[in-house]
Amino acid sequence: MKLAKVKKLLNAKVYTDMDYENVEVFSACGSDLMSHVLAYFKDRGLLLTGLNNPQVVRTAEMMDILCIVMVRGKEPEPEVVKLANEKGLVVMKTDCTLFTACGLLYTEGLRGGGY
Amino acid sequence: MAEVIRHTWQVLADDYSTAGEASASLKKVLKQLGFAADIIRRVSIAMYEGEINMVIHANGGTASAEICEDRITITLADSGPGIPDVGLAMKEGYSTASDRARSLGFGAGMGLPNIKRCSDDLKIETEVGVGTTLTITILA
């Protein structure tokens, strides 16, 4: 699924500088526990989380995650945006809850990337 | 790659903004050396979990990596409080992390189990009140 579609489905706002519309993700993971992301996420893709601190970007970098979607209307901290730009990651925000955001993407065909 | 490549990083206590920089640096080196994606992924996860553990629990310490053609050995040495019960610490879900660490998405009791899962060999040397040294080996 292209990130342009993710943005549209979640009515999301993009914070980072890189061109994102045609970046494609093939799987997604929803979690507020970064250790679970490290343990269970298998494929390059999309991370949905309620956290908005720099460790989310660090975790994404370790797992080759391409895009972070912050749910429940959480604005990313400025240092998060700065770090994501340095690492070439896309950061978005949606007002959806984690459950709803995952459901919207799943309904349109995006699947989990873990076990 | 005939020679052995060594890198060392200082990991600062309670510095959550820079936690992960050593792991990112190692990952970059391994990519440049052309290691397979699966190996880089396992090294990255093990190193990052270890680095975070040092920040959360151990007053920081020293992380070092020895990179050979057929293996990567990571050593994480701290002079923190030590682990009183290694068996318990290896159990998924057991955690002594602070609320601060939990608020950042860690402290789920997955750190050491994740490191073990990603490594071919994990050696834990620990003494309460003295410190802990993890030696993680991943075969390439």
Mean pLDDT by 10 residues, chain B (140 residues): 89 86 96 95 95 88 96 95 91 84 83 94 96 96
Decide if A64 touches B, using CB distance below 8 A: yes
Decide if A53 touches B, using CB distance below 8 A: yes
User: Which runs of E-coded beta strand occur in chain B?
Assistant: 5-11, 61-67, 71-78, 121-127, 131-139
- Predicted local distance difference test score (pLDDT) of residue A101: 98
Return the bridge partners of B62, or none. Answer: B10, B77
- Predicted local distance difference test score (pLDDT) of residue B95: 84
Minimum-distance CB partner of B105 among A34, A62, A63: A34
Residues of B in contact with A37 (CB under 8 A): 105
In chain A, the residue whose alpha carbon lies closest to the alpha carbon of B105 is: A33
- Contact A55/B27, CB-based, under 8 Å? no
Confidence of residue A99 (pLDDT cuts 50, 70, 90): very high
Residue A38 lies in a domain: yes
| Domains of chain A: total | 1
- Predicted local distance difference test score (pLDDT) of residue B32: 95
- Predicted local distance difference test score (pLDDT) of residue A82: 96
- Predicted local distance difference test score (pLDDT) of residue B98: 82
Residue A57 lies in a domain: yes
- Predicted local distance difference test score (pLDDT) of residue A35: 86
- Predicted local distance difference test score (pLDDT) of residue B59: 85
| Mutation target vs B (from A35, A51, A81, A98; most B CBs, 10 A cutoff) | A35
Residue A85 lies in a domain: yes
User: What is the CATH classification number for the domain harbouring A38?
Assistant: 3.40.1390.20
- Predicted local distance difference test score (pLDDT) of residue B110: 85
Q: Which residues contact A31 (CB under 8 A, 6 or more apart)?
A: A37, A47, A48, A49
- Predicted local distance difference test score (pLDDT) of residue A42: 76
Fold of B5-139: Heat Shock Protein 90 (3.30.565)
Residue A114 lies in a domain: no
Say if the ipTM goes beyond 0.90: no
pLDDT of A115 > 70? The answer is no
Residue A68 lies in a domain: yes
The ranges assigned to domains in chain B are 5-139
- Condensed to tens digits (0 to 9), the pLDDT of residues A9-63 reads 999 999 999 999 999 999 999 999 998 899 888 777 999 999 999 999 999 999 9
- Predicted local distance difference test score (pLDDT) of residue B100: 81
- Contact B19/A33, CB-based, under 8 Å? no
Return the bridge partners of B128, or none. Answer: none
Residue A115 lies in a domain: no
| Residues spanned by the domain of A82 | 3-107
- Contact A61/B20, CB-based, under 8 Å? yes
Q: Report the C-alpha gap between B124 and B134 in whole angstroms.
A: 5
